[in-house]
Structure 1
Amino acid sequence: MSHPKLLLTMGDACGIGPEIIARLWDSQEAPQDVCVVGDLSVMRRAVRQLGLSLPVARLDAPDEAAPPNCLPVWQPPGLPADLLSAVQGQVDARAGAAAAACIEAAVRAVQQGQGLAIVTAPIHKEALHAAGLPYPGHTEMLQALATTAGQAPPPVRMMLANDELRTVLVTIHMSLRQAIEAIDVPRVLETIRIADQALRSAGIASPRIAVAGLNPHAGEGGLFGDEEIVHIAPAIAEARAAGLQASGPFAPDTVFMRARRGEFDAVVAMVHDHGLIPVKYLGVEQGVNVTLGLPFVRTSPDHGTAFDIAGRGIADASSLRAALQMARRLSRAG
C-alpha cells in the first residue's frame, strides 16, 4: 500500500544537512510521516557522528511503509559512488551532484503522487556550480523542474517566515545592481498576487500585504530615487484595483517592525537582504523558507550548510523541524 510522505532531501553531504536530519529522529518527536531522500552511507555516517543507536532503513520507494523506530532513507539512482570521500566542510562537486540528484528525484516523486511535499536540507551553491548545475539556488532549480515542456516557467517567489514575520521577495539571487534593474510594475504586481494567494491558501481570508520601498524613506517623494513612483506605487494601485489589500510603498527601515506588531500579514520586499535580514535577526532557529508559486509545497530551513561546524554533531535542527511543521500544515491546507 502506498503511503505518501513529506520528502526530506539530504542537502549537501559535506554540510550539516545529514546530521540535523538524523537529529530529528533522536527525539521523542521523531517524524513518522517523513522519508529522507539521500545517500545511505552519508546518513549512516551522520548517525554515527551523533553517537546514536539508530537503524537506517533503505526504502525501495519514497512511499514505502518504513519499519518502526528507524531512519527511513530512499536512495535515488545516480548518486556518486564515492560520496563518502568528499571531505566534510569543503566544497565538492560530488556533493553538489548528489544534492541535485536528490532534489530532482523528490520533485519527480511528488509529481507522481509518491510524496506530499518537499523539505530541503541546505545545499551549497558553489558545489552545485562545481557539479555543472546552472542554478543559483534551490528556488531557481525547483522552478525549472516544475516547468512543463513547451510552457513558460511558473512564476515563483521566496518567502521567509517565522511566528512573528513573513516576507516575500520581488528579486532573489542576483547582484544588487541587477535586482534594481529587474524591478518593474509587472514583477512587483505579480509578487503581491503570489503573496496574497499563498496567504489565502494558508488560511488567511483577506491578507494585509505591506509593500516596502527600495530607497531610503521609500524615495522621499523622488528625492532619493524614483523607483517607488515609477514602478512600485503603480503596482500597488493595480493590486488594490483588483481587490487585494496591498498598501505602501513604506520605508524599508520601519515596515518590518509594523508587520511584526500585527499591522500586516506579510511584507513584500524588493531585494534579497531587505527582506531576509529582519526575519533572520529574529532567530534562524525558527525561520522557514517557503517557495511560493510551485505546483507543490516546498519548505526549507533558513540557514546554510554551515561548513565550519559540519561533522561535529553540534548543529541545531530547530529550523529544519520548523520547516517540516510548515510543510505539514501547508500540504494539509492545500
Structure 2
Amino acid sequence: MPLDRPLVLTQGDPAGIGPDITLAAWASRERHGLPPFLFLGDPAVLKSRAALLDLDIPIREADAGSALSVFADALPVLPIPAGAEVAAGEPHVATAKGTIAAIEQAVSLCFEGKAAGTVTNPIAKSILYQSGFGFPGHTEFLAHLAEKATSRKLMPVMMLAGPKLRAIPVTIHIPLKDVPGALTEALIEETCRIAHHDLITRFGIAKPRLAVAGLNPHAGEDGAIGQEDQDIIHPVIFKLRAEGLHVFGPLPADTMFHDEARGRYDVAICMYHDQALIPAKALGFDTSVNVTLGLPFIRTSPDHGTAFGIAGQGVARETSLVEAIKLAGELAARAST
C-alpha cells in the first residue's frame, strides 16, 4: 500500500557513510521499490559527497508536505545546517548539533502526523558525548523525546531483524561484567511483553513465539554453572506462560541459532548485547535492520556504524539502509490498515 506521508531519514554523522548510502539508496529507489523518504540534513553535504563519489543525484529542498511529489525526480531534503565544513571520514564535534537536531526534527514530524516513521543513519556517540550529549545512544534519546511528547515513561527495546533471525538483547551497552547484576526479573519480563506486543501489532504475528536464552553456558546446567538462569530467568518464563504467552527457555545459547532451532521461534530474547548481535550479524550482516520496539512511532536503522574509514570512497554498501527503509515502509503501511 502506498504511503500517504513520507518516511524521514536522519543524516547521522555527516562525516560518516550516511551521505554515501543515502545517495545510493535514492538512486536505487525504483529497483528496490522504496517508499518515499525525506532526508533531514545539510543539502550541501549531500551535494559535496555526490561530487566526491561522481554521482549525478538531483537534490531538492522540500518539507514533509512536498516530499512525496519530489521523491520520484529528486532526493528531497529538509535543510538542517551541518554546523561546520564536513570532510568525508573526518568527524568534528561542531557537527553534533546538526546531528541531534535532525533526530529531534524526525521525532517531531512523526508526532505531528507528517511522517510515517523514522529511519536513522548511523551516529558517532563519541562525537556527541564531546558536545555534551547526555544519552548512551540513539535509542535512549529517541525514548526521551517520546517521553517528552507523551508525558509517560517508555522502555525502548532494541531488536535486530533480518531474513533469518530476529534477536533482542535485554541488556545492551554495558560491560559484560555488569550484565549479571543488571538482569532482573522485571527487566526480562518487560522486554518480553514489549516484544510480544509489537510483534503482534506491528509485524502482524498473531501468536509470537519467544525463545529466551540463558545467561550462563548450558543455561546454567541446573545451577552447576551459575544460578541466574534458575533464579531470575526461569520465574519470568513461568509467569508469562501462565498468562498464555508462548515463551520458552531458558535455552543454551549455543544451540539456539542453527537452522532447525530458528524455525521454532519468532524472536530470540538474549541476555546481553553480543549474545544477540553476533548471530544476527553473522546470519545477515548486510540485510539485518535495527528496529526499536516500545516507542509510539516507527524507528528503524541500518545495523552498522558510521564507517569513517571508508566514507567518500565509493565502497560503502547501502544494503542495510535499503532494508531499513523498506521495513519502515512495511510497518507504516500495516499500521495504516
TM-score tier, shorter chain, comes to over 0.9
Q: Which residue of 2 aligns with 1:64?
A: 66
Q: Which residue of 1 aligns with 2:257?
A: 256
d(CA) in 1 for partners of 2:151 and 2:21? 37
d(CA) in 1 for partners of 2:238 and 2:260? 20
Q: Per-residue deviation at 1:303? A: 0.5
State how 1:2-13 maps to structure 2 within 5 Å. 4-13=5-14
User: Is 1:50 paired with 2:29?
Assistant: no
How many residue pairs match? The answer is 328
Equivalent AA in structure 2 for residue 117 of structure 1: G
Q: Per-residue deviation at 1:261? A: 3.8
d(CA) in 2 for partners of 1:98 and 1:149? 21
> Normalised by the size of structure 2, how large is the TM-score?
0.92
- The answer (yes or no) to whether the contact 1:146–1:294 under 8 Å persists in 2 is yes
Equivalent AA in structure 2 for residue 44 of structure 1: K
d(CA) in 2 for partners of 1:181 and 1:264? 27
Q: Which residue of 1 aligns with 2:270?
A: 269
State how 1:282-321 maps to structure 2 within 5 Å. 282-321=283-322
Q: Per-residue deviation at 1:240? A: 0.7
d(CA) in 2 for partners of 1:179 and 1:149? 31
Unaligned runs of 5+ in 1: none
Q: Per-residue deviation at 1:180? A: 2.2
Q: Per-residue deviation at 1:134? A: 1.1
Q: Per-residue deviation at 1:3? A: 5.4
Q: Deviations over 1:44-83 (max 9, x none)?
A: 1122122122211011x2232443411110114xx3442x
- Secondary structure of 1:115's counterpart equals coil
- The answer (yes or no) to whether the contact 1:259–1:267 under 8 Å persists in 2 is no
Unaligned runs of 5+ in 2: none
Equivalent AA in structure 1 for residue 199 of structure 2: L
- The answer (yes or no) to whether the contact 1:96–1:124 under 8 Å persists in 2 is no
d(CA) in 2 for partners of 1:112 and 1:42? 27
Q: Per-residue deviation at 1:166? A: 0.4
Q: 1:146 to 1:324 in 2, by over 3 A?
A: same
d(CA) in 1 for partners of 2:231 and 2:92? 44
d(CA) in 1 for partners of 2:150 and 2:122? 30
* Greater share of residues in helix: 2
- Secondary structure of 2:117's counterpart equals strand
Give the RMSD, CA atoms, in angstroms: 1.8
- Secondary structure of 1:12's counterpart equals coil
Q: Deviations over 1:296-325 (max 9, x none)?
A: 000001010111101111100000000011
d(CA) in 2 for partners of 1:297 and 1:259? 31
Q: Deviations over 1:82-123 (max 9, x none)?
A: 2xx243223321233221110111001111111000001111
- Secondary structure of 2:61's counterpart equals strand
